[in-house]
Amino acid sequence: MTLSTTEYYVSTGESKEATRARQAKYRRRQRLAMALLHAAEARGLSGGEAIAVLQNADYRTLQECQSMGIR
């Protein structure tokens, strides 16, 4: 019988690996959103207009931006 070496947070019951993966995914999305916001502002949109455009962007567009290297 082998013992699992996975550590869990007592408060949430989530493994530390899962927490790290979730946080990394969140950070990637946050960096992408900020890069898109800055690109939209550089093209002359105000901050509010840029956010409105980003909120209406579909998932495929965001995936294409990530694949083009916007991180």
Q: What is the pLDDT of residues 39-66, one digit of tens each?
A: 888 888 887 887 787 788 777 877 777 6
In-domain check, residue 53: yes
Tokens of 14: 């989530």
Query: Which range of residues forms the domain containing residue 61?
Result: 29-71
| Nearest one of 5, 31, 6, 2 to 19, comparing CA atoms | 6
65, with CB counted inside 10 A (0-12, 13-18, 19+), is middle
In-domain check, residue 68: yes
pLDDT of residue 5: 67
In-domain check, residue 9: no
Half-sphere exposure of residue 65: CA atoms within 13 angstroms, side-chain side:
20
pTM surpassing 0.75?
no
Q: Does pLDDT of 3 surpass 80?
A: no
Structural domain tally of the chain?
1
In-domain check, residue 8: no
